Amino acid sequence: MDKTSDPFNEQRKECPVLPCDFQGETVPMILRHADLREACKDWETYSSDAPFRVPIPSEEELRRMRQLPIEVDPPEHTEYRKIVEPFFKRPKDPEMIAKVEALIDEFIDRARNQDSIEIVREFSLPIQSRALTYLLDMPEEEAEIWTGWGIHVFKDGEDEADCEQRGNVLEEYLDEAFDKAEADPGEDFFSALTKAEYQGRKLTRDEMMGFGNLTFAGGRDTIIHSISCVIAYLAKHPEAFDYLRESPKNIVAASEEFFRVVTPLTHIGRTCPVTTDVHGFEVKPKGRVSLCWSSANNDETVFENPHDIQLDRKPNPHVAFGFGKHLCLGAPHARLIIRTLLQKLCDRGVSLTIEEEVEHVEHEAEYTRVNGYDVLRVAVS
């Protein structure tokens, strides 16, 4: 990983949108940074009130409930978001910070005690799952179940039928977790939702499931790919350690550049309630628009030499975590993990050597984008 993956470069310079076919629907992808941020702020024109259709491709076949709070608009979105915000602020708590530091140390030790380690599934995946137990105040043993779901809870290289079955597995797990929480409530995420109120009433089971579904589907492969890309970059650029060790501020700046470059989520959907002209492309009522984070994060009018990885890039107004009302709830969690990883790799004086790498590639009719790794085997010393 020496350059950003930007399949939208030429199109972005010529036109603000790229019409792209997803599941038989032509969806204009908004490519430019300024246009995307304006769309994020205009939730009445570009609505998130679209169950199953905010992800692209859509997920009607993979789940039966609306994901919360991502698939509603203000003011409902604001009220729903407040219910779970206390958990997603936990990455600022000293206790959780200490747990993540110990976790990263543990996995660096494991990696050093073997000839090599496959970073995606043997390092990044279990770190993501274990760290999630800290965020949700769940027993660490639950991470063994979550790790077993693979890189993505809906799709992990399987065919369509397998993806549907994986969705059923997640729903069964969530239903059982909420049953247990209702019978014997504690202080964990599931218990909090069984006790929460929305507009003066208890949450319905579908609303609880909507929160749970997004929590496990939304911040999984994104963190896993981010960890893997950081390891790959440092293995190929060991001189970067000199910059990172100079100051904790450098680790913060480098983390943000990694998020800009990796942009784990290529894009996300919005729907237009009425016929809308989207930079020259007509979208019919209830038609979708794509907010292309990946393209916006490589916009040459905002980022100088955007395809170069500059760990000291400032300013860095990337949109890897979204923008506006729907700014990713999990951003502090992702930042804690990546900053801790960088700090620990510096402190431990590790040496990284790549033995095998297979990039993860998104293939669509109109673009092909490299996004993380399917395999990354590294010797750690």
Q: What is the CATH number of the domain that holds 82?
A: 1.10.630.10
Instruction: Give the pLDDT mean for 342-359.
Output: 97
End-to-end Cα separation, the chain, in angstroms = 21
Instruction: Give the pLDDT mean for 181-191.
Output: 98
Residue 365: exposed, middle, or buried by beta-carbon count in 10 A (0-12, 13-18, 19+)? Answer: exposed
Per-residue confidence at 82, pLDDT binned at 50, 70, 90? very high
At residue 157, the pLDDT reads 61
Establish if 203 belongs to a structural domain: yes
Mean residue pLDDT of the chain comes to 95
Return all residues near 374 (Cβ < 8 A) that are at least 6 apart.
120, 157, 358, 359, 360
Residue type, 324: G
Instruction: Give the pLDDT mean for 201-209.
Output: 98
Which residues, in sequence order, are bridge partners of residue 344? none
Establish if 148 belongs to a structural domain: yes
Handedness of CA 231, 232, 237, 243 (dihedral sign): negative
pTM: 0.96
Establish if 39 belongs to a structural domain: yes
Q: In angstroms, rounded to a whole number, what is the distance separating the alpha carbons of residues 136 and 214?
A: 13
Q: In angstroms, rounded to a whole number, what is the distance separating the alpha carbons of residues 288 and 271?
A: 4
Task: Tally the domains of the chain.
Answer: 1
At residue 46, the pLDDT reads 98
Look up the domain containing 17 and give its range.
9-380
- Residue 293: pLDDT over 60: yes
Contact 224, 151 (CB under 8 A): yes
- Residue 44: pLDDT over 90: yes
Distances (CA, A) of 339 to 43, 145, 376: 32, 26, 20
Helices 331-347 and 221-236, packing angle to 10 deg: 30
Establish if 302 belongs to a structural domain: yes
Instruction: Give the pLDDT mean for 60-65.
Output: 92
Read off the tokens for 297: 């994060």
Q: In angstroms, rounded to a whole number, what is the distance separating the alpha carbons of residues 194 and 285?
A: 36
Residue 259: exposed, middle, or buried by beta-carbon count in 10 A (0-12, 13-18, 19+)? Answer: buried
Establish if 3 belongs to a structural domain: no
DSSP letter assigned to residue 203: P
Beta strand residue intervals within 34-125, DSSP E: 117-118
Establish if 4 belongs to a structural domain: no
Establish if 56 belongs to a structural domain: yes
Establish if 43 belongs to a structural domain: yes
Q: In angstroms, rounded to a whole number, what is the distance separating the alpha carbons of residues 355 and 372?
A: 16
Contact 212, 174 (CB under 8 A): yes
Spacing of C-alpha 27 from chain mean position: 21
DSSP letter assigned to residue 325: G
Instruction: Give the pLDDT mean for 68-76.
Output: 98
- Residue 306: pLDDT over 70: yes
- Residue 159: pLDDT over 60: no
67: nearest Cα among 215, 169, 167, 201 = 215
pLDDT of 110-153, one tens digit each? 999 999 999 999 999 999 999 999 999 999 999 999 999 999 88
